[in-house]
A and B are shown apart, each in its own frame.
Chain A
Amino acid sequence: MLFLLVCLPFLGALAVYPASRYLHIHPSLVSGLTATLGLILVIHNGMAVYEGDLLLNQQQWMPAIGLSLSFRLDGLGLLFAELILGIGVLVIFYARYYLTEAEAGPRLYAFLLLFMGAMLGLVLAENLLLMLVFWELTSLASFLLIGFRRQDAEARQGARLALFVTGGGGFALLAALIILGQIVGSYELSDVLTSRELVANHPLYPLILVLFLLGVGTKSAQFPFHFWLPHAMAAPTPVSAYLHSATMVKAGIFLLGRFFPVLAGTDLWFYLVSGMGLSTLLLGAYYALFQHDLKGLLAYSTISHLGLITLLFGLGTPLGEVAAVFHVINHAVFKASLFMAAGIIDHESGTRDMRKLNGLFKYMPYTAVLAMVAAAAMAGVPLLNGFLSKEMFFGETVALSWLGEASWHWLFPLAATLAGILAVAYSLRFIHDVFFNGEPRDLPKLPHEPPRWMKVPVEILVVLCIGVGMFPNYTVRPLLEAAAGAVLQQPLPEFSLSIWHGFTPPLIMSLIAMGAGIALYGGRKWVISVHDRLPLQLNGKWMAERMLESLFSFGAKIDRLLDNRSLQRYNFLLLISAVAVGAFALQGETLFGSGEATPASIPALVGGFLLAAGSVTTAALHGRRLVAVIMLGLVGLITSLLFAYFSAPDLALTQLLVEIVTVILVLLAMYFLPQTTPPVSNLGLVSRDVLLGIVAGIGVGILCYSMLMQQGESISSYYLAQSKPGGGGTNVVNVILVDFRGFDTMGEITVLGIAAVGIFAMIQGLVLKGPRQDWRGGAWARDPHPVLLVTVSKLLLPIALLVSVFLFLRGHNEPGGGFVAGLVTGVALILQYIAEGSDDTRPRLPWNYLGLIGAGVLIAVLTGLGSWLFGFPFLTTSFTYVTLPIVGKFELASALLFDLGVYLAVVGTVLLILSGIGGLSRREREA
């Protein structure tokens, strides 16, 4: 159920575009309905939560790393889910009237839903790792939303800054939660939340806390990471209203509440969290006063309010948590409505600059009243919701100083009052500067009331402000109790939500804040001029950008160091790294086991010597290319003998045939390539490479020797024992290929096909110039049809084809099979090409070679699928025996059909490659 709920916005995001493109349904309708449906589901499921139930929904995903698709719905999750979906519905509704179709389009609504889904997943996740996944997703989705106006440089920069800061914090959070999960031994929240003793006494606790707060602080714009938030105002206003009231910036706050039962209650928590909150509270409030942009004011005030909530969490008192949760709700409600009001003003007057906006009351009285109520709630005026939580906040700071644990705790009520004064002053500025204070100055548009429906979301929110402010016990109390209970994980303290508590210290603080705030606003001209003359202006954006820049230039330096656009050098680095890694891995290992060595025989020594000599000669004489190719051919042939000598007839056959086609291939290519390699003058470089080669050779040699001297049981006895009864064949290698490991083989012929397709593509349109003379300077022989070869090849063809059929059919029991038979056929046909030229041969082989490869792979796949029809797993073999003359009794198995696929793919590949390269010379003649 919860899983579906989280999926819902993502599904909606997918549906937005097709619905608007093909069904002409306005994207806001799809997204609005999605959000509304989600809200209904949450409210419906939330009924049980009020009773104190906890909905858990667990499902395995990747148990090996502790990641599960588990979701939980408790009070805290319920509160946030309702905010996310409820305000989401209003924001979508608002955006519908705020943005024209050309401005928004399906893209905006899809992003909004994506973001909504990410937030929902975050607040409902039960598994820590799952939570992190959604956390990162919110960062990404907000990046897309902030940078929505992608043609606007400021929006792009703001989006990048937000991603840089919050993404960086995400890393820290990742580390924190992983350590946390490792300590607890489980990534499930239910286990983590009950492990406070274990975690708080763990030596890594300070590290966890710091990393955790880095994640929280960056996301929730806490000092000193607050600077990204004002720049995120480049987003369209509906996005700002959503991200900066109820969702994005509240994600960090949510985590504070979520992990409060595990991490809070220590001195370190108190100092770090309340310190961060306190400085953010004051700094945000101070800067808010000096903004000239309406949205800028709201942005800094958001920072300040987030600081307030963080501070409350930092205090760690039960009543403080209730206040914190309460303020989360209130802030979301009044800030969303204020952003929307600011958007309306911007929309109808064309500017957000408070130096130009004055006296708008005359032009839009109705909007003005709505905005004034919301701003009053922000200031903490009685009868509105902001007053109640601010009162509780004041009360908590007073209580803290009265407890008198430390003498300097009197700072808290002082700072709270100061922040209150500033809040009153900036709220007053929002009201008075914009709606009164003379006449508007050269506005781009003549302001007027917005369309009726644009005001509806603001109205709803303002009504909520008043409703909660006047009748808190009937409106918000159940939700608040459920959410605060989930944060505290213990019985709630007694608290009363009422407007009049008597003449208490908090009330006095409120009165001081009101009076001093009004006075401060009165003297604003002087205050602003003093502020403007302050020499020190903190500019976090500038610092972050410098950091980013130096990071990039550092990266570019490293890049230049490694990359001089030379593949040869890459190769060197790659190989030397491989050698280094190998040497490192072998360090301290017992290299040589006690395996018994078999005595060397004379033929083996001779073969070995030839093989070694052949490879060294290939390397030494690579400048004389024809000689090198002959040497390489020698190496291939002896390798084939080696396989035969050590009881691998299938390998010997395959190697022999591949050697033939490889030599043909290389010779064909040599025709176009230069015939010699110019000698290299830099001897230092040569000796460097020789040295690396020798080191690598010694390393591989040691590795090989140590491997051969190990003793151990191979897993192959299973294959040997099961080959006949299970696979129906006696040639175990072939049975492994087409049966036991048939899936691998299927992949391998597919790879082969892909290589062939790549080659086909590269050959297209390739015209090369051949040489006019050979490397000795003699004339190039052009005898197209040597009679001897033509005669022999004609004779050979039917025999070769017959042999390949023979090899193919007996493959399951004796050496042979699809690979070998395919190679034999390929070689036989290529011989025709060589003898008679492609002009004569091609018409006689009227197949499309690419099609041949495709058919081969397809047959292999279909054979595998065929076993599904009979209810067996993919690639199950069934077989029966048939007797043919000469070949003898052989098995007719579905594996044979599979082998046919292999055969066709191999034939197609060989022909495609060789005839393709061979054809180049004809193109050259024509060109």
Chain B
Amino acid sequence: MELTLSILIGTMTASAVYLLLRARTFPVVLGLSLLGYAVNIFLFASGGLTRNSAPLVEHGLKNLPDPLPQALVLTAIVIGFGMTAFLVVLALRALRDLGDDRVDGGGEE
């Protein structure tokens, strides 16, 4: 399971990095979103992979997942949304102000 997850995160990162390097704003937004997923899963996985449980202490403390990465990732997801939204609006603004959806308004293509 650990190996599968690592390969998965690696694949997501690779795709995200490729998208981040594109010349147009839209793929960069997608890339950042994708990288966000990869990072979140990575952080989440740092608490170990626990099956068939939940971080609820009502029924004792046995076989509980690590709640700390979960709490951190939870806010990271919401902030990730804020960042994606910021980038999207920045892209729209750049489209208006530069008349183009290029990342640089010219340059490497």
A binds B: yes
Interface residues of A (CB under 8 A from B): 564-569, 571-572, 575, 595, 597-601, 604-605, 608, 611-612, 615-616, 618-619, 622, 625, 628-629, 632, 635-636, 639, 642-643, 645-651, 654-655, 658, 661-662, 665-666, 669-670, 672-674, 677-678, 680-682, 685, 689-690, 692-694, 696-702, 704-705, 707-709, 714-716, 719-721, 723-724, 730-733, 736-737, 741, 744-745, 748, 751-752, 755-756, 758-759, 762-763, 766-768, 813-815, 819, 823, 906, 909, 913, 916-917, 920
Give the Cβ gap from B87 to chain A, nearest Cβ, in Å. 10
A-B contact pairs, 20 of them (CB 8 A): A618-B19, A618-B30, A632-B34, A647-B65, A648-B70, A650-B70, A651-B77, A669-B91, A693-B13, A697-B11, A697-B13, A700-B10, A704-B9, A708-B49, A716-B68, A732-B56, A756-B82, A762-B89, A819-B75, A917-B89
Contact of B58 among A658, A748, A813 (CB under 8 A): A813
Tell me the residues in window 22-55 of chain B with beta carbons closer than 8 Å to chain A beta carbons.
22-31, 33-34, 37-38, 40-42, 44-55
Residue of B nearest to A697 (CB): B14
When each residue 79-109 of chain B gets 1 if its CB lies under 8 Å from chain A and 0 otherwise, what string results?
Answer: 1111111101111110110000101100111
Residue of A nearest to B38 (CB): A700
Contact of B75 among A599, A600, A730, A748 (CB under 8 A): A748
Contact of A565 among B4, B49, B107 (CB under 8 A): B107
A701 and B21 contacting across the interface, CB-CB below 8 Å: no
Bound: A673/B65 CA distance, A: 42
Most chain A CB within 10 A, of B50, B52, B65, is at B65
Main secondary structure of the interface of B (DSSP, over half): helix
B70 and A733 contacting across the interface, CB-CB below 8 Å: yes
Bound: A611/B66 CA distance, A: 23
B26 and A622 contacting across the interface, CB-CB below 8 Å: yes
A-B contacts at CB below 8 angstroms, number: 329
Give the Cβ gap from B33 to chain A, nearest Cβ, in Å. 6
- Given A599-B1, A600-B1, residue A571 in contact with residue B20 (CB < 8 A): yes
Interface residues of B (CB under 8 A from A): 1-31, 33-34, 37-38, 40-42, 44-58, 61, 64-68, 70-71, 73-75, 77-86, 88-93, 95-96, 101, 103-104, 107-109
B4 and A723 contacting across the interface, CB-CB below 8 Å: no
Give the Cβ gap from A766 to chain B, nearest Cβ, in Å. 6
B95 and A672 contacting across the interface, CB-CB below 8 Å: yes
Give the Cβ gap from B34 to chain A, nearest Cβ, in Å. 6
Bound: A682/B101 CA distance, A: 18
A701 and B26 contacting across the interface, CB-CB below 8 Å: no
A635 and B34 contacting across the interface, CB-CB below 8 Å: yes
A763 and B95 contacting across the interface, CB-CB below 8 Å: no
Contact of A569 among B4, B7, B38, B108 (CB under 8 A): B108
Bound: A643/B67 CA distance, A: 12
A709 and B55 contacting across the interface, CB-CB below 8 Å: no
A654 and B19 contacting across the interface, CB-CB below 8 Å: no
B22 and A622 contacting across the interface, CB-CB below 8 Å: yes
Contact of B82 among A572, A682, A700, A751 (CB under 8 A): A751
Bound: A113/B25 CA distance, A: 53
Contact of A646 among B11, B44, B75, B84 (CB under 8 A): B44
Contact of B14 among A567, A646, A694, A730 (CB under 8 A): A694
Residue of A nearest to B23 (CB): A568
B41 and A639 contacting across the interface, CB-CB below 8 Å: yes
A632 and B30 contacting across the interface, CB-CB below 8 Å: yes
Give the Cβ gap from A445 to chain B, nearest Cβ, in Å. 58
B84 and A920 contacting across the interface, CB-CB below 8 Å: no
Contact of B1 among A604, A622, A690 (CB under 8 A): A604
Q: Which residues of A contact B57 (CB under 8 A)?
A: 720, 723-724, 730, 732
Contact of A698 among B10, B92, B95 (CB under 8 A): B10
Q: Which residues of B contact A674 (CB under 8 A)?
A: 24, 26, 101
Bound: A732/B1 CA distance, A: 25
B96 and A766 contacting across the interface, CB-CB below 8 Å: yes
Q: Which residues of B contact A720 (CB under 8 A)?
A: 55, 57, 61, 64, 67
A655 and B77 contacting across the interface, CB-CB below 8 Å: yes
- Given A654-B78, A731-B56, residue A598 in contact with residue B104 (CB < 8 A): no
B37 and A639 contacting across the interface, CB-CB below 8 Å: yes
A704 and B42 contacting across the interface, CB-CB below 8 Å: yes
B50 and A647 contacting across the interface, CB-CB below 8 Å: yes
Q: Which residues of B contact A814 (CB under 8 A)?
A: 56
- Given A566-B104, A814-B56, residue A662 in contact with residue B27 (CB < 8 A): no
B68 and A719 contacting across the interface, CB-CB below 8 Å: yes
Bound: A736/B67 CA distance, A: 8
B15 and A733 contacting across the interface, CB-CB below 8 Å: no
A721 and B61 contacting across the interface, CB-CB below 8 Å: yes
Q: Which residues of A contact B2 (CB under 8 A)?
A: 595, 597-598, 705, 708-709
Q: Which residues of B contact A662 (CB under 8 A)?
A: 33, 81, 84
B6 and A701 contacting across the interface, CB-CB below 8 Å: yes
Q: Which residues of A contact B5 (CB under 8 A)?
A: 608, 704, 708
Residue of B nearest to A723 (CB): B57
Known pairs A648-B44, A697-B10, A733-B67. 20 more at Cβ < 8 A?
A: A575-B17, A575-B21, A601-B1, A618-B15, A625-B26, A632-B34, A646-B51, A651-B70, A658-B77, A658-B78, A665-B88, A666-B88, A696-B14, A714-B47, A720-B61, A720-B64, A732-B71, A755-B82, A755-B83, A756-B82
B6 and A702 contacting across the interface, CB-CB below 8 Å: yes
A673 and B75 contacting across the interface, CB-CB below 8 Å: no
Residue of B nearest to A596 (CB): B2
- Given A608-B4, A611-B8, A618-B30, residue A636 in contact with residue B17 (CB < 8 A): no
Most chain B CB within 10 A, of A700, A763, A815, is at A700
Contact of A815 among B23, B34, B41, B54 (CB under 8 A): B54
Bound: A693/B18 CA distance, A: 5
A566 and B85 contacting across the interface, CB-CB below 8 Å: no
A697 and B27 contacting across the interface, CB-CB below 8 Å: no
- Given A601-B1, A715-B68, A767-B96, residue A700 in contact with residue B13 (CB < 8 A): yes
Most chain B CB within 10 A, of A647, A658, A720, is at A647
Contact of B104 among A565, A702, A920 (CB under 8 A): A565
A622 and B19 contacting across the interface, CB-CB below 8 Å: yes
Contact of B88 among A595, A669, A745, A768 (CB under 8 A): A669
Q: Which residues of A contact B90 (CB under 8 A)?
A: 762
B13 and A616 contacting across the interface, CB-CB below 8 Å: no
Q: Which residues of A contact B26 (CB under 8 A)?
A: 622, 625, 669-670, 673-674, 677
Give the Cβ gap from B100 to chain A, nearest Cβ, in Å. 9
Most chain B CB within 10 A, of A572, A755, A813, is at A755
Most chain A CB within 10 A, of B49, B50, B56, is at B56
Give the Cβ gap from B71 to chain A, nearest Cβ, in Å. 4
Bound: A595/B65 CA distance, A: 17
A677 and B4 contacting across the interface, CB-CB below 8 Å: no
B77 and A741 contacting across the interface, CB-CB below 8 Å: no
Residue of B nearest to A622 (CB): B27
Contact of B55 among A647, A694, A724, A748 (CB under 8 A): A647
A731 and B33 contacting across the interface, CB-CB below 8 Å: no
Q: Which residues of A contact B30 (CB under 8 A)?
A: 618, 622, 628-629, 632, 666
Q: Which residues of B contact A715 (CB under 8 A)?
A: 68
Bound: A722/B77 CA distance, A: 25
Q: Which residues of A contact B80 (CB under 8 A)?
A: 658
Q: Which residues of B contact A766 (CB under 8 A)?
A: 92-93, 96
Bound: A724/B59 CA distance, A: 11
Bound: A721/B60 CA distance, A: 9
Q: Which residues of B contact A567 (CB under 8 A)?
A: 103-104
Residue of B nearest to A917 (CB): B89
Bound: A720/B67 CA distance, A: 8
Name the 10 nearest CB pairs between A and B, nearest first: A701-B10, A697-B14, A619-B15, A732-B67, A705-B6, A693-B18, A755-B82, A566-B107, A736-B71, A693-B17
Give the Cβ gap from A854 to chain B, nearest Cβ, in Å. 15
Give the Cβ gap from A479 to chain B, nearest Cβ, in Å. 63
Give the Cβ gap from A79 to chain B, nearest Cβ, in Å. 58
Bound: A694/B48 CA distance, A: 25
Give the Cβ gap from A427 to chain B, nearest Cβ, in Å. 66
B49 and A693 contacting across the interface, CB-CB below 8 Å: no
